[in-house]
Structure 1
């Protein structure tokens, strides 16, 4: 559980020190009060690029047109003890990469933090997940996999790096066949490993969603991995799938050169969610139903992480009440109370969180200020 958050010159927050003492944290405030910025800072305490996927230059609070050096730190209380994670801009200014510290000591690789922390989020931008391109759904799926399998991000990054090099060589028109073969071998190996991890997550998540104990009154859902490599892995051994993909990449060089990218690989995967009571894909459901399906998914995922990894994740739900009617909001709050995870909720209307009084830590956010709800005089 995150028990304290410290921010310095992070986006709209000049200085913040906030204690958290409950498994549910509800933050209300008008648009522009910095609620999403606060959740983004928490998301950056784990590996990855955070809930906005922003560039380093965007994090620092801007004064006189210049971005200031920024930092975020959290204290976590676990059954195995207390530890501190910090991240921010390089204080020496020698690197453009985000730096991390664990209990004051430098962290060599972001993936090392995955053994300590898992963070999952829903944002209003994800409400269009099923109307936009497959890349957004694939990133959503990969975040779920990464929280369960810390090495997954390395496999995806290695595949994408080999693919980018192959694309550049093919575009040049004079690539060494042996060099291309080496890159295609790397693509095949990492694509199969990444796809196997995606398949594993989908199977385990579907089992939790089928049980229904973590998702409460939210609709039963099924996740499908839409991926030729995944379909092949369901029928053949991994080595055979690697060989077939390697051969297909070699055969397709001329076509890929003309198209400007590889027609096969881990980057061609997509994710689908099915509303089981209606037997209907998410893209055919209403906006409210799509939101409910995503909530059902992240609730099940949080329960799966807690069971599989022995520690509860952080669940960041930005403006989660949007598109939810009163019955669904009450169902969400009831599910969060029983969930083995710490949840952070934001919204513009503090009255939405009234059912959580006595259960959650409730805060009021105004630009640059975060105070307990009780101190505002509104209940």
Structure 2
């Protein structure tokens, strides 16, 4: 299962690009700046959220000149199973509304959240290399994106929780009706408890997947979910009510899943990932990505997007990675500046040469 008949119109530097015959392995090869990452970013937008670059929608449409307004863009792809098309997914903007992303599933309008019901996406990019030294918020976003693999409506729970917290903060500041404040706290607690449960389940399932992996050639990470408050709805509502004075003074809620943390340590040494070497951090990040891809592949088409990953691995780890990917059920998309790192899978892969916003099969 995977994607085929992929089309891009006016997306980034791609005026009109089509990727037709796809395979289990799909390679995008070309010079830096040719538009390889733009192609896999387009695929990442066939799921909820802002894609692998977390870009504003106004940045996505192609510009005919540096100071020109972005054109309306469109991305489409077919879901296939055993060579048969099972669905058509699309996302696009409309002229003059570059800040609004629209979605169609089988030709009918749909919410972006519904895309997760059809397709599970996992990705790894060089920009993620600093995850373990980044903020706790970055790791929460990392968890929430992965959580869509086991709970397609998770994004709605996160959005509803954040909205309730913002409204509560405004009401605390203005000294509004206590009854409305209580209602907001119960609403926040309902959504907060739901998203916290999903995060905890995801981390546990990832930990189970990782526990079965050998520590070589990729460093095996140990994952721990540390909740930022009670995970039961009633207890969370009570904690929010008790913390009103403190939260009013702080200007934000100090208890709840908005303060959750993902702790990552390296198996064997027990050292925090943030204190490990750059190579060890990369190896652990790859291990987590592969574990998530294995989870995501259960029950839905699954696509794994790997940007410039092979070139940064030594031959032993590269061979191990390609072997793992070959054994998995997720369709794999990889980018690189040359074909040499992919020699082991070249004959079974679909390959495109990407150049100046176009792609031609090799």
TM-score bracket, normalised by the shorter chain, equals: over 0.9
Counterpart-to-counterpart distance in 2, 1:36 and 1:20: 19
Say if 1:9 and 1:123 are closer, same or farther in 2 by CA, change over 3 A.
same
Is residue 2:78 matched to residue 1:75?
Answer: yes
2:43 corresponds to: 42
Is residue 2:235 matched to residue 1:244?
Answer: yes
What pairs up with 1:1-379 in 2 under 5 angstroms?
1-64=2-65, 65-78=68-81, 81-90=85-94, 96-107=99-110, 109-172=111-174, 174-212=175-213, 217-229=217-229, 232-233=230-231, 241-307=232-298, 310-321=299-310, 323-373=312-362
Counterpart-to-counterpart distance in 2, 1:20 and 1:201: 34
Counterpart-to-counterpart distance in 2, 1:96 and 1:368: 22
- Does the 8 Å contact 1:86/1:100 carry over to 2? yes
SS at 1:21 equivalent: coil
Which runs of 4 or more aligned residues in structure 1 lie more than 4 Å from their structure 2 counterparts after TM superposition?
93-96
Gaps of 5+ in 1: 234-240, 374-379
* 1:264 shift after superposition: 0.9
**Aligned positions, number:** 358
- Does the 8 Å contact 1:162/1:184 carry over to 2? yes
SS at 1:46 equivalent: coil
* 1:139 shift after superposition: 0.6
- State the TM-score, normalizing by the size of structure 2: 0.93
- State the TM-score, normalizing by the size of structure 1: 0.89
* 1:100 shift after superposition: 1.1
1:377 corresponds to: none
Say if 1:46 and 1:343 are closer, same or farther in 2 by CA, change over 3 A.
same
